[in-house]
């Protein structure tokens, strides 16, 4: 038995499919099947019942899956502790961030992090909140930074910042001279939304539902920049993070209004996978984010 075989077995169980597991591991399907067969021969029992569409795990397979994960986590943790003995923060740090955070908050944080830990090689994956959560659970990233809600029991969540949502409108819009948009103002308007799965889209839908607003027509875009460009072009209005609208509003390329009489805020959160050992690079990055000036400012309010 070797650790590679254990990792392959765990991936097959989690994906419930040999082909998908092989694709993620960059292996051929026959190679994956061979590793599983060797494990079953070594322990003289059947772990997986194969079928054309998916796999079914036996009782012995379920037990072996849990033990395999414990062994692999122990190996990873030991490796990290041995690296820590060298008193050097290095290696690969894989981060995931939702679009708003990844494009408008994370770059400045990485400047500070890189100055402190220059030997860490950082990779950043930017996607919507749903995709970042999935990447974390699949262990494709070490740390995630997301907006919006999360309900997975596999994930630890720590809030690090509060974000104010605003209504962004074109300069020539009928609401451009107002400071606050009322419920009546928002009726039967043309809207620009982010795609489903986005934290911003989740919040927009909640606000519209809460206010009981009738949407005349809407457009969907898969990036914050595209949403801003659409608003500035006069295509419609949008609910966005105040963080992403600062530059355009300052340059008077569009207008930002408060939404109804109460402030609409959401939380930015740092997420990690429960039970997964953290490298020193990941732990120091987490500490830096949770101690960021933005978080301190929020705690004083």
Closest by CA position to 57, among listed 27, 21, 19, 12: 12
**So where are the chain's domains?**
3-85, 91-146+274-295, 162-265
Which range, of 21-25, 53-57, 238-242, averages the lowest pLDDT? Answer: 53-57
Average pLDDT over residues 200-209: 91
Confidence (pLDDT) at 87: 66
> Do 91-146+274-295 and 3-85 have the same topology in CATH?
no
* Fold observed for domain 162-265: D-Maltodextrin-Binding Protein; domain 2 (3.40.190)
CATH (residue range 3-85)? 1.10.10.10
Buried b (16+ CB within 10 A) or exposed e, 18-50: beebbeebebeeeebbebbeebbeeeeeebbee
pLDDT at 51 over 80: no
Q: For residue range 60-105, what is the model confidence (pLDDT) as tens digits?
A: 999 999 999 999 989 888 887 777 766 678 889 999 999 999 999 9
Q: For residue range 100-130, what is the model confidence (pLDDT) as tens digits?
A: 999 999 999 999 999 999 999 999 999 999 9
Average pLDDT over residues 146-175: 91
Q: For residue range 206-245, what is the model confidence (pLDDT) as tens digits?
A: 999 989 999 999 999 998 999 999 999 999 999 999 999 8
Contact predicate 172/166, CB 8 Å: no
For residue 114, count other CB atoms closer than 10 A to its CB: 12
**What are the start-end ranges of the H helices in the chain?**
3-15, 18-25, 29-43, 59-84, 99-104, 106-116, 129-137, 199-211, 224-232, 242-250, 280-290, 293-300
* Fold observed for domain 91-146+274-295: D-Maltodextrin-Binding Protein; domain 2 (3.40.190)
For helices 18-25 and 3-15, the axis angle rounded to 10 degrees is: 130
Mean confidence (pLDDT) of the chain = 90
Confidence (pLDDT) at 300: 45
């Amino acid at each position: 038995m070797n650790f590679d075989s254990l990792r392959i077995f765990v991936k097959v169980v989690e994906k419930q499919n040999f082909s998908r597991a092989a694709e993620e591991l960059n292996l051929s399907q026959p190679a994956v099947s061979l590793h599983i067969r060797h494990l079953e021969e070594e322990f003289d029992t059947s772990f997986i019942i194969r079928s054309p569409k998916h796999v079914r795990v036996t009782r012995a397979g379920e037990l072996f899956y849990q033990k395999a994960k414990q062994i692999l986590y122990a190996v990873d943790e030991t490796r990290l502790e041995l690296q820590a003995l060298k008193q050097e923060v290095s290696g690969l740090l894989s981060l995931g961030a939702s679009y708003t955070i990844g494009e408008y908050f994370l770059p400045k944080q990485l400047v500070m992090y890189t100055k402190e830990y220059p030997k860490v090689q950082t990779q950043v994956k930017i996607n919507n909140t749903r995709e970042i959560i999935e990447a974390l659970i699949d262990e494709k990233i070490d740390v995630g930074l997301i907006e919006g809600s999360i309900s997975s029991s596999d994930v630890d969540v720590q809030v690090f910042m509060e974000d104010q949502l605003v209504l962004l409108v074109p300069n020539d819009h009928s609401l451009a001279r107002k400071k606050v948009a009322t419920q009546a103002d928002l009726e039967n308007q043309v809207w620009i939304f982010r795609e489903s799965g986005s934290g911003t889209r989740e919040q927009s839908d909640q606000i519209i539902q809460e206010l009981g607003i009738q949407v005349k027509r809407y457009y969907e875009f898969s990036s914050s920049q595209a949403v801003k460009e659409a608003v500035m072009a006069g295509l419609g209005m949008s609910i966005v993070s105040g963080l992403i609208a600062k530059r355009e509003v300052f340059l008077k390329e569009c207008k930002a209004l408060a939404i109804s009489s109460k402030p609409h805020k959401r939380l930015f959160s740092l997420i990690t996978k429960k039970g997964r050992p953290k490298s020193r690079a990941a732990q120091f990055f987490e500490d830096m984010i949770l101690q960021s000036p933005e978080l301190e400012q929020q705690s004083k309010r």
